[in-house]
Each structure stands twice: as C-alpha cells, then as structure tokens.
Amino acid sequence: MCGARETIDRLTAVGLIAEVTARVLVPWGPVPRSRRAWLEQ
C-alpha cells in the first residue's frame, strides 16, 4: 500500500537514516477492501 523505497528515499533526502527492517503481508480487512479504489489512487 505504501512505497517503501519512495518513503526511504524521502526520509534520507532530509537527513534521516531509514531502512526496511521487516516485511509482512497482511490481508486487508473489510474497511480497506471497501475503499480499495480510493486507496490505490
């Protein structure tokens, strides 16, 4: 849902140290599923 690479790039661009420490795929619940089109924009 969010771009990890883009987030890390933005954080490092302002001088912060960032890295991905874990990745987990979690199924969407009923509310995010109902808003999928909006969330993907």
Which domain does 31 fall in, by range? 4-39
Residue 18 has what pLDDT?
95
pTM: 0.55
pLDDT in tens, 3-41: 899 999 999 999 999 999 998 888 888 988 898 889 888
pLDDT given for residue 1 in this prediction:
56
Q: How many CB atoms lie within 10 A of CB 8?
A: 15
Distance CA 33, CA 17 (A): 33
- The number of distinct structural domains making up the chain is 1
Q: Are 1 and 39 in contact (CB under 8 A)?
A: yes
Tokens 């790039």 — which residue?
Answer: 9
* Three-class DSSP category at 10: helix
Residue 27 vs residue 1, higher pLDDT? 27
